[in-house]
C-alpha cells in the first residue's frame, strides 16, 4: 500500500505543485482546499501524513491541527505545516498547535519530500515499538470468534490505533465477508506460490477498510488453501509487527500444528472465545491446557464469553470464570437479529448498530485490549 499524504491548502497552485512532487516519489496524494474539508478527509480517509497550510479562509491551519490532536482517531497523525509565514512566532504557534515539523513556502521540492519521508519513518518506529499481537481463538468452530475479532479490531482502529486484522488459517476465512472487502491477494495466494515472502510483499497484500482497519485476508478460494508452516506465520507476524501498532489474529481453531503453535507463542495476549454450553466449555478447558503447555502465561490469556443463543440455563460470568480458572476479557450478549442484519449489510455490528448492547460489550473488549497490559475482569 503506497503511503497516502493529505495536502490541505487553499491555493490551487500550491496544491498542484506539492501534489506533483509527492506523486513523483510514489505517494498517493489527497487534496483539500479548505480546513474543514481537510479535517473531514483526515478523519474519514486515514492518510499517513498531513501537509497543512496555515492561512486559510474558514479554519486556519493552527485550528485544524488542534482539532486533529483532540480527536483520538487522528491524534498520532504526523503533521507538516507549510506556510508563507516565516516568523519565529508562527513556528512556535505551529508546534504549540501540535505540528511535528514546519516548512516555509515556497518549499524546495527536494526538502519537502525529504521531510515527509523522515516524518513517516519516525512514525513507523513509534508504531513498531508498540506493536502487540492479540490472538482470538475459538474453543471450537462457530462460537463467534471471527465476529469478536472483527468488531474489536474495527473499534480499536476507529479509536485511532493503527491495527491490522490477519486471518491465520489454512482454509476459507470469513472476516472479509463481515467487512465487505474483496481481497486482491490473500495469505493463501501469497504463500501458495512461494513459501517465503518479503515484509514488503506481505504488507503489500493489506487492504484498507473505511474504519481505518487494515486486513490481511486468509485463503478465499479452494485453490488458495494451504498448510501454513511456522516460517510462513513467523515472517507474516514480523512484517505486520513493523507496520502496525496492534495485530489482531483471527486464528484457526486449536490444531496441534507447528504453525498454530508459532502464532500463539508469539502472541502478547490470547482471547479464548467460548460459548457457555457444556461442550464449548469442555473444549475451552482443553484449549487452555494446550496454551499453558505451550508456555503462554495464564495472565496473558483471557476468556471471551459469547452468548450466541439466549438460554434459560445461562451460567453467570463468575461461574464460567471459576470453572475455567480464567480472568475474563468480556461477555458478549446474544444478538441474533443484529448479527444477521450486520451480515446482510456487510458492516460489523459495532458500525451498523453502535448503540446496541452487543456493540457496547465489544467497546468494553476494545477498551480492555488497548490497555497495556490488557485488563481482565477477575472474580
Q: Binding residues for ligand ADP, per CB under 6 A? A: 138, 141-147, 174, 306, 308, 332, 334-336, 339, 343, 358
Name the minimum Å distance from CB 157 to ligand ADP: 18
Nearest residue relative to Mg ion (C-beta): 146
Which entry of Mg ion, ligand ADP, none binds 308, CB below 5 to 8 A by partner kind? ligand ADP
For residue 150, which of 183, 187, 179 has the smallest C-alpha distance?
Answer: 179
Contact 267, 136 (CB under 8 A): no
Scan for cell 473531514, then name that residue.
40
Tell the burial category of 252 from Cβ atoms under 10 Å away from its Cβ (0-12, 13-18, 19+).
buried
Name the minimum Å distance from CB 218 to Mg ion: 9
Q: Which is nearer to Mg ion, 145 or 203 (CB)?
A: 145
Name the minimum Å distance from CB 321 to ligand ADP: 18
Q: Annotate each residue in 145-174 with x if it binds Mg ion (CB under 5 A) or - if it does not, as one string.
A: xx----------------------------
Contact 203, 243 (CB under 8 A): yes
Q: Which is nearer to Mg ion, 15 or 252 (CB)?
A: 252
Q: Which is nearer to ligand ADP, 185 or 345 (CB)?
A: 345
The CA distances from residue 122 to 21, 100, 129, 228, 282, in Å, are: 21, 10, 11, 33, 47
Which alpha helices (DSSP H) does 6-45 contain, by range?
Answer: 12-24, 35-45
Name the minimum Å distance from CB 334 to ligand ADP: 5
Name the minimum Å distance from CB 138 to ligand ADP: 4
Which entry of ligand ADP, Mg ion, none binds 45, CB below 5 to 8 A by partner kind? none
Q: Which is nearer to ligand ADP, 98 or 138 (CB)?
A: 138
What is the C-alpha separation between 62 and 55, in angstroms, rounded?
9
Name the minimum Å distance from CB 207 to ligand ADP: 19
Q: Which is nearer to Mg ion, 244 or 249 (CB)?
A: 249
Q: Which is nearer to Mg ion, 143 or 156 (CB)?
A: 143
Rg (CA), the chain: 23
Beta-bridge mates of residue 5: 29, 49
Which entry of Mg ion, ligand ADP, none binds 86, CB below 5 to 8 A by partner kind? none
Size of the site for Mg ion (CB under 5 A): 2
In what side-by-side order are the strands of the sheet with 269-274? 207-208, 214-216, 163-168, 246-251, 132-138, 269-274, 301-306, 328-332
Burial 139-167 (b: 16+ CB within 10 A, else e): bbeebbbbbbbbbbbbbbbbbbbbbbbbb
Name the minimum Å distance from CB 189 to Mg ion: 19
Q: Which is nearer to Mg ion, 145 or 170 (CB)?
A: 145
Report cis status (omega within 30 of 0) of the bond before 106. Answer: yes
Amino acid at each position: 500500500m503506497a503511503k497516502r499524504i493529505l495536502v490541505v491548502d487553499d491555493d490551487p497552485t500550491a496544491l498542484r505543485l506539492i501534489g506533483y512532487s509527492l506523486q513523483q516519489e510514489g505517494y498517493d496524494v489527497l487534496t483539500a482546499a479548505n480546513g474543514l474539508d481537510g479535517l473531514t478527509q483526515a478523519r474519514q480517509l486515514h492518510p499517513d501524513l498531513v501537509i497543512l497550510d496555515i492561512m486559510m479562509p474558514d479554519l486556519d491551519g493552527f485550528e485544524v491541527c488542534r482539532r486533529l490532536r483532540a480527536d483520538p482517531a487522528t491524534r498520532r497523525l504526523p503533521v507538516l505545516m507549510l506556510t508563507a509565514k516565516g516568523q519565529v512566532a508562527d513556528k512556535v504557534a505551529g508546534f504549540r498547535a501540535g505540528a511535528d515539523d514546519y516548512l516555509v513556502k515556497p518549499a524546495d521540492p527536494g526538502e519537502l519530500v525529504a521531510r515527509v519521508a523522515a516524518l513517516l519513518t519516525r512514525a513507523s518506529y513509534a508504531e513498531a515499538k508498540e506493536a502487540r499481537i492479540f490472538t482470538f481463538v475459538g474453543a471450537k468452530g462457530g462460537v463467534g470468534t471471527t465476529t469478536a475479532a472483527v468488531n474489536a479490531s474495527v473499534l480499536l482502529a476507529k479509536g485511532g490505533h493503527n491495527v491490522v486484522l490477519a486471518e491465520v488459517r489454512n482454509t476459507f476465512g470469513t472476516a472479509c465477508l463481515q467487512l465487505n472487502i474483496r481481497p486482491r491477494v490473500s495469505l493463501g495466494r501469497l504463500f501458495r506460490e512461494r513459501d517465503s515472502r518479503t515484509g514488503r510483499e506481505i504488507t503489500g497484500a493489506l487492504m484498507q477498510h473505511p474504519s481505518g482497519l487494515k486486513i490481511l485476508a486468509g485463503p478465499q478460494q479452494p485453490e488458495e488453501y494451504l498448510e501454513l508452516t511456522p516460517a510462513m506465520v513467523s515472517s507474516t507476524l514480523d512484517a505486520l509487527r513493523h507496520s502496525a501498532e496492534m495485530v489482531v489474529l483471527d486464528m484457526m481453531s486449536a490444531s496441534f500444528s507447528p504453525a498454530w503453535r508459532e502464532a500463539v507463542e508469539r502472541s502478547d495476549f490470547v482471547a479464548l472465545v467460548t460459548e457457555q454450553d457444556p461442550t464449548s466449555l469442555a473444549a475451552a478447558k482443553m484449549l487452555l491446557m494446550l496454551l499453558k503447555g505451550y508456555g503462554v502465561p495464564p495472565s496473558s490469556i483471557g476468556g471471551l464469553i459469547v452468548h450466541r443463543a439466549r438460554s434459560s440455563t445461562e451460567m453467570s460470568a463468575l461461574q464460567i470464570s471459576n470453572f475455567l480458572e480464567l480472568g475474563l476479557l468480556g461477555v458478549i450478549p446474544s444478538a441474533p437479529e443484529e448479527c444477521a442484519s450486520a451480515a446482510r449489510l456487510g458492516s460489523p455490528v459495532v458500525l451498523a448498530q453502535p448503540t446496541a448492547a452487543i456493540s457496547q460489550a465489544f467497546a468494553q473488549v476494545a477498551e480492555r485490549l488497548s490497555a497495556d497490559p490488557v485488563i481482565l475482569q477477575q472474580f
